[in-house]
Structure 1
Amino acid sequence: MKNMHLRNVSLLCLFIIGLLSCKTLENSKKSIESPNILWITIEDTSPQFIGCYGNKDASTPVIDQLAKEGVRFTNAFSTGTVCSPSRSAIITGVKTYKMGTGNHRSNYPVPEYIKGFPYYLQEAGYYTTNNSKTDYNVANMKAFTKEAWNESSNKAGWWNRETGQAFFAVFNYADSHQSRTMTESYEWYQKNVVAYLDESEMIGDNDFDMPPFYKDTPAMRKQVARVYNSIKLTDNKIGDLLDRLEKDGLRDNTIIVFYGDHGEGIPRGKTNGINLGYRVPFIISFPEKYKHLSPWGTGGVVTDELIEFTDLAPTMISLSGGRIPEHLEGRILMGKKRAPKADHLVLSSDRADNGIDMVRSVTNGRYVYSRNYMPFLPQSKYIRYVEIGEITQEMRKDLAENKLNPLQKSLFEERPPEYLFDIEKDLWETNNLANDPGHQKLLKQMRANLKKEILASRDVMFLPEYEIGILSKTTTPYEYRLDPKQYPLAEIYDAAALAGFRGANIAAKQAALLKDSNPIVRYWGILGLYAQNIDLKEKYASAISEVIRDSYPPVAITASAMAYRFLNNSEAEGILKSYIESENFELALMTINYLLYCDQKEPFIELVKAVRLKGSSPYKVKASCTDFLGILGIVENNTKFKQ
């Protein structure tokens, strides 16, 4: 009996080994037959600065050639408008407002079962590499990254795979990043961009058309030229990569995907929830062997099909023949499992560095609708990484000297609650159609599309970041949002939907919300009152004064900021001071952000100085403190901290 048992165990082991061997052979065969996939990701770039998208002043011959050979997308959009939310959506395939990853470099936990999508390509036998930026905006990013990639480093590439193994390789180019186009000094730009271009390749200060929201002066042209030359250097480096692919004999077996990670890194672009922040250049080039996979055709085809970054994960997994997990809800764009086209997309933009914000947008490609939930913040809100740019300093100088026209000045003024731009007729978004009688039907449809998506997705970003930080200690925002008892979103959304709109009837509703038992509803009530006209703030001064000591800190801070700035409430000053030095840095950041736009800063100067120098203060709080002091001329404008 013992021998028979051992024999049965041996046969079972052989059977299991056989199955594993078959699986290995299957993956090996699949790898040989499946396409290689090369991703070329560039940073902070909008399509209107690329030659093949119609800019005759740009010099991007390598990118243009990819478009000539392949498919150029005119309606491709990032999910966020700054690096880490955008890259979170790419790597997880999940919307940031579901995952809780909308706030830049917040690094909150995600469910263990949500992997970086290259993990599933590895399962299908692919060799996956990333060279080399991650910035995925999730907790435990080191382990998350290690699981997603066979190799993630500045030396990673297809060259370390097994013979015959298909690869998925990502190369990230930072040469078009905001640091090159505006943030670092002009001298730094000359050493790190200009020095690597031949004189014949340089785009001069007068060799392009200025966007109309910038004042057309020599000083501004000097800065905007940086955009063109930084993209030119990027294009050169992409050419070097493609030369290596060709040299290694892989071009004929490789699908090439080129795109920008979000909009252009200039004032009013990156970090703003408008078309210039969301829309990206996007090109796919198919070799002859895999042209059948393209539903659009090849050879210079242009498509207006709507795509966004959460479509990429399921599409790549499908191309590899891998299993697509249930949490991926993006579209499969190509191949036998191609999904139906989308008729609209919902996008989002939240906090960027120290600049708090919340925008939700809907686009059908031609029109972009944006809902500003914090309209009292301008498009050029205070963000330290933007403020140190010479272009921003020049703009603020012209503003102070009253040299800007109404459009240019509007970048520094409060926003309306809604934008509606016709991109086909108004590429630079200069004419807001939200109040235009001829566009009300479209406006209502886009409002309805937005509400439907917010409620269906259970957008967790309607919680203050303070709340997300607390709940993330015991669960994930992604999972928390799914419980309607702990997160009654319908009730919260009804309150938030009022924010930004003005009028006596709306203000009355917002004032009534201040007595609600749900603190998040009270938060949206007071936030809505903050955006009301001064006469309505004064009308509800008593109600506002009652909640400056609310038990929920975001309510108390917002009420106190309003009471101090607009209502001459002396008690509010002390409350704001207590929150500036709070050990909860989300509360400190919220408080300082309100005071950035307040004229009476003097009582807070010494406290802000102390918080700025406090060793435990994170970058975003130090940065906000520096902006506060910089407005008063106490800290030099070029002061910055390591991000």
Structure 2
Amino acid sequence: MKKQLVAILLTILVFSKINAQDRPNILWIVSEDNTTMLGSYGDKFATTPNLDKFASQSIRYKNAFSTAPVCAPSRNTLITGMYPPSLGTEHMRSSYPVPDFVKFFPRYLREAGYYTTNNAKKDYNTDDQSEDAWDESSNKATYKNRKPGQPFFAVFNLNVSHESSLHEPVASLQHDPEKVVLPPYHPATPELKHDWAQYYDKLEEMDRQFAKLLEELEDEGLAENTIVFYYADNGGVLARSKRFMYESGLHVPLIIHLPAKYAHLAKEKQGTTSDRLVTFLDFAPTVLSLTDIKVPGYMQGGAFLGKQQRPEPQYAYGFRGRMDERIDMSRSVRDKKYRYIRNYLPNKIYGQYLEYLWRAPSVKSWEDAYKAGKLNADQSKFWEPKPAEELFDVEADPHNIRNLAEDPKYKSDLLRLRKANDQWVRSLKDVGFIPEAILFEIAKKTPLYDYARSGQYHLEKIIATADMASSRNGAHSKELIKRLTDPDPVVRYWAATGLAILKDGSAKEQLKKSLNDSEPAVRIAAAEALYVTNTDKSGAMTALTETLKSDNPYVRLQSLNILDLTGKDVEPALGLARKIADQKPEMFDYDIRAARVLLEKLGK
């Protein structure tokens, strides 16, 4: 009997070992800040022979999208399999906690016997769980350190194409600036032509680095056992791409190769193109599906490869929150023909000054051309306030120039996509509608995901108020004035913000009362409305100055964003702005950055 039991156990162990070894390795090669600027995606100016060859032997996805047009929130989506607006992790480089049940997905692979490595970028936009997720996470991390026969999941990030590669112009270029085909929204300044050419050079180098990683896999004898993903972490990189809700910011290349022994895990054949809608939300479930690990029920995406494949979604959703030191909020819906964008703060121009973005010479050259009156209408829009809604036919208009939202011919599509956006933000219990000054305080006590489901988040009324506030429809003025006294401070914030967007001076007395609101975010929004309507600039400046004394960095940041609009009237606040600017910053103290920008702008 004992001999039989031992034999059975040995059989189980041997079978388990074979099964583990038979599982595919997964290799992710991730480039930074590039949209579909590859030869295989039809870009004739790009020099990407290695990726083009790889695409010819793999599945190329023509409708793949990052969930945010910037790295940290997108990487939060990748690592959790959840939408950041549902977790409260949408704002750039924030660190709000997620609920305990949300795990960084490589942990599931590790628990199943995989060796997991990350080389080297993390940027997960929440409390780090790397110790549980990765066997190695550093610029030396490699799958080569695994045990014999152990399957691996490895990530390599290629940062040569990162936005910072344009901060210093190089003298010698491989791509000719005079032959660059500029998008119609960019004027042909020397700096823009140079930056575009320099960026194509960086993509060429990225292509070479990609080839080296494939060659290394081949040399290790692992190519036939490894499923390889290539994708970019968001679009990019020149102004109006990265950080912005257009195709140039959200559309990413995605090419996946499945060796012959794993080809059955895909519906598509190698060497073909898929038009399936795919977003970063689907990546974690897909890796778990490929490795035969059960996809956790809390993940909001669906596997598009492997044994747990889900039906294709109807829409791909995207979002934008605060970008570095500038506050903004947009949501987007994409199907295979149209992109819809809902701008909840349309009074803020697209081209808000961002210290990091302006390090590229091309951005200032574009701004200077606008100030000099040298631009056409398409090139000027970046420097002007946004419409509440945008709708683009991405097939006919890949650069998203012609907004069809007001065109009666497209009304049915506008209504359909508007409804899809409304349903999406409600289904998520999207906490992005809470101003970050309030989010910051809530997150000290409870994960924002949990707060949204606690009964304290009055989502329907908040979204309804935000819709009215951002609609630019004066018919909502009376209701917005009424909601200035709502019990919920988030409703009051959106009511005051709506009056600022409308520049409604009839609400002077009610807004003056709001300068004494118990919630600083409401006081700042009321001050903005009073300032832009020129009904009580003095009271507005007093309130904005006082809020700079707050212990909450996002109260200070919100105030500095408004003070940036006030020109010479900012004088009473300069002393406090200097105190903030003189602080020794941590890496991402955006209130300090905003204060320094304000002072530099005024020559102070």
Tell whether 2:258 aligns with 1:258.
no
Aligned with residue 343 of structure 1, among 314, 321, 329: 314
Residue identity opposite 2:580 in structure 1: V
> How much has 1:60 moved relative to structure 2?
0.8
DSSP-derived class of the 2:298 partner? coil
Distance (Å, rounded) in 1 between the aligned partners of 2:329 and 2:405: 18
Residue identity opposite 1:555 in structure 2: V
Task: Provide, for residues 68-90 of structure 1, a one-character-per-residue CA deviation record: whole Å limited to 9, x for no partner.
Answer: 11111111111111111000000
> How much has 1:337 moved relative to structure 2?
2.1
Residue identity opposite 1:370 in structure 2: I
DSSP-derived class of the 2:346 partner? coil
What residue number does 2:341 align with? 370
Aligned with residue 193 of structure 2, among 190, 210, 221: 221
What residue number does 1:150 align with? 135
Q: Flag structure 2 segments of 5+ consecutive residues without an equivalent.
A: none
What residue number does 1:571 align with? 539
DSSP-derived class of the 1:498 partner? helix
> How much has 1:27 moved relative to structure 2?
4.9
> How much has 1:100 moved relative to structure 2?
0.8
What residue number does 1:5 align with? none
What residue number does 1:458 align with? 429
What residue number does 1:512 align with? 482
Aligned with residue 279 of structure 2, among 281, 302, 308: 308
> How much has 1:414 moved relative to structure 2?
0.3
Aligned with residue 541 of structure 1, among 508, 521, 544: 508
Distance (Å, rounded) in 2 between the aligned partners of 1:275 and 1:513: 36
Residue identity opposite 1:586 in structure 2: Y
> How much has 1:125 moved relative to structure 2?
1.7
Change in 2 beyond 3 A, CA 1:146/1:23: farther
Aligned with residue 35 of structure 2, among 46, 53, 64: 46
Distance (Å, rounded) in 2 between the aligned partners of 1:616 and 1:210: 37
Residue identity opposite 1:401 in structure 2: A
Tell whether 2:601 aligns with 1:631.
yes
Aligned with residue 181 of structure 2, among 195, 202, 209: 209
Change in 2 beyond 3 A, CA 1:121/1:22: farther
> How much has 1:219 moved relative to structure 2?
2.8
Residue identity opposite 2:524 in structure 1: I
DSSP-derived class of the 1:371 partner? strand
What residue number does 1:92 align with? 80
Tell whether 2:113 aligns with 1:125.
yes
Distance (Å, rounded) in 1 between the aligned partners of 2:443 and 2:7: 44
Distance (Å, rounded) in 2 between the aligned partners of 1:591 and 1:22: 68
DSSP-derived class of the 1:102 partner? coil
What residue number does 1:558 align with? 525
What residue number does 1:185 align with? 168
C-alpha contact (below 8 Å) 1:30/1:125 kept by paired residues: no
What TM-score comes out, normalization by structure 2 length?
A: 0.95
DSSP-derived class of the 2:349 partner? coil
What residue number does 1:288 align with? 260
Aligned with residue 391 of structure 2, among 415, 420, 433: 420
What residue number does 2:581 align with? 612
Task: Provide, for residues 481-512 of structure 1, a one-character-per-residue CA deviation record: whole Å limited to 9, x for no partner.
Answer: 112x2112111111111122123311222111
Task: Provide, for residues 228-281 of structure 1, a one-character-per-residue CA deviation record: whole Å limited to 9, x for no partner.
Answer: 111111111111111111111111111110001111022111111222211111
What residue number does 2:152 align with? 167
Distance (Å, rounded) in 2 between the aligned partners of 1:100 and 1:133: 21
> How much has 1:293 moved relative to structure 2?
1.4
C-alpha contact (below 8 Å) 1:541/1:567 kept by paired residues: no
Number of residue pairs aligned between Structure 1 and Structure 2:
599
> How much has 1:306 moved relative to structure 2?
0.3
Tell whether 2:203 aligns with 1:231.
yes
C-alpha contact (below 8 Å) 1:42/1:261 kept by paired residues: yes
C-alpha contact (below 8 Å) 2:388/2:472 kept by paired residues: no
C-alpha contact (below 8 Å) 1:612/1:626 kept by paired residues: yes
Residue identity opposite 1:307 in structure 2: V
Distance (Å, rounded) in 2 between the aligned partners of 1:72 and 1:173: 19
What residue number does 2:406 align with? 435
Task: Provide, for residues 39-90 of structure 1, a one-character-per-residue CA deviation record: whole Å limited to 9, x for no partner.
Answer: 011111111x221111100001111111111111111111111111000000
- The RMSD of aligned alpha carbons is 2.1
What residue number does 2:565 align with? 597
Residue identity opposite 1:123 in structure 2: E
* More deviation, 615-624/552-561: 615-624
Aligned with residue 76 of structure 1, among 40, 64, 67: 64
What residue number does 1:499 align with? 469
DSSP-derived class of the 2:242 partner? coil
C-alpha contact (below 8 Å) 1:120/1:324 kept by paired residues: no
Aligned with residue 290 of structure 2, among 309, 312, 319: 319
C-alpha contact (below 8 Å) 2:191/2:361 kept by paired residues: no
Task: Provide, for residues 177-231 of structure 1, a one-character-per-residue CA deviation record: whole Å limited to 9, x for no partner.
Answer: 1101x3x222xx56xxx6xxxx7xx112123201111111323211221221111
What TM-score comes out, normalization by structure 1 length?
A: 0.90
Distance (Å, rounded) in 2 between the aligned partners of 1:121 and 1:604: 53
What residue number does 1:355 align with? 326
DSSP-derived class of the 2:156 partner? strand
Task: Provide, for residues 261-309 of structure 1, a one-character-per-residue CA deviation record: whole Å limited to 9, x for no partner.
Answer: 111022111111222211111111122222121211112x111110101
Change in 2 beyond 3 A, CA 1:607/1:333: same
Residue identity opposite 1:602 in structure 2: E
Distance (Å, rounded) in 1 between the aligned partners of 2:7 and 2:535: 79
Residue identity opposite 2:25 in structure 1: N
Task: Provide, for residues 449-474 of structure 1, a one-character-per-residue CA deviation record: whole Å limited to 9, x for no partner.
Answer: 11111111111111111222111112
Residue identity opposite 1:185 in structure 2: E
DSSP-derived class of the 2:402 partner? coil
> How much has 1:626 moved relative to structure 2?
2.5
> How much has 1:23 moved relative to structure 2?
7.8
C-alpha contact (below 8 Å) 1:126/1:320 kept by paired residues: no
> How much has 1:554 moved relative to structure 2?
0.7
DSSP-derived class of the 2:197 partner? helix
Change in 2 beyond 3 A, CA 1:243/1:398: same
C-alpha contact (below 8 Å) 1:383/1:623 kept by paired residues: no
Distance (Å, rounded) in 2 between the aligned partners of 1:73 and 1:415: 31
Residue identity opposite 2:523 in structure 1: A
Change in 2 beyond 3 A, CA 1:21/1:77: farther
Distance (Å, rounded) in 1 between the aligned partners of 2:249 and 2:490: 28
Task: Provide, for residues 140-165 of structure 1, a one-character-per-residue CA deviation record: whole Å limited to 9, x for no partner.
Answer: x1xx0111011111111110111111
C-alpha contact (below 8 Å) 1:124/1:321 kept by paired residues: no
Aligned with residue 487 of structure 1, among 448, 457, 464: 457
Q: Flag structure 1 segments of 5+ consecutive residues without an equivalent.
A: 1-10, 635-643
Change in 2 beyond 3 A, CA 1:565/1:603: farther
Distance (Å, rounded) in 2 between the aligned partners of 1:21 and 1:540: 80
DSSP-derived class of the 2:297 partner? coil
What residue number does 1:408 align with? 379
C-alpha contact (below 8 Å) 1:27/1:124 kept by paired residues: no
Distance (Å, rounded) in 2 between the aligned partners of 1:51 and 1:294: 24
> How much has 1:615 moved relative to structure 2?
3.2
> How much has 1:19 moved relative to structure 2?
11
Task: Provide, for residues 384-428 of structure 1, a one-character-per-residue CA deviation record: whole Å limited to 9, x for no partner.
Answer: 111222111111221221112111111010000111111111111
Aligned with residue 582 of structure 1, among 544, 547, 550: 550
Tell whether 2:494 aligns with 1:524.
yes
Change in 2 beyond 3 A, CA 1:633/1:68: farther
Task: Provide, for residues 547-595 of structure 1, a one-character-per-residue CA deviation record: whole Å limited to 9, x for no partner.
Answer: 1111111110111122134324212211111112322110000011112
C-alpha contact (below 8 Å) 2:65/2:252 kept by paired residues: yes
> How much has 1:518 moved relative to structure 2?
1.1
DSSP-derived class of the 2:470 partner? coil
Distance (Å, rounded) in 2 between the aligned partners of 1:209 and 1:544: 49
Distance (Å, rounded) in 2 between the aligned partners of 1:18 and 1:364: 56
Any residues of structure 2 matched to 1:194-205 within 5 Å, and which? 202-205=174-177
Aligned with residue 54 of structure 2, among 41, 66, 89: 66
What residue number does 1:641 align with? none
Identity percentage of aligned residues: 34
Aligned with residue 275 of structure 1, among 234, 238, 247: 247
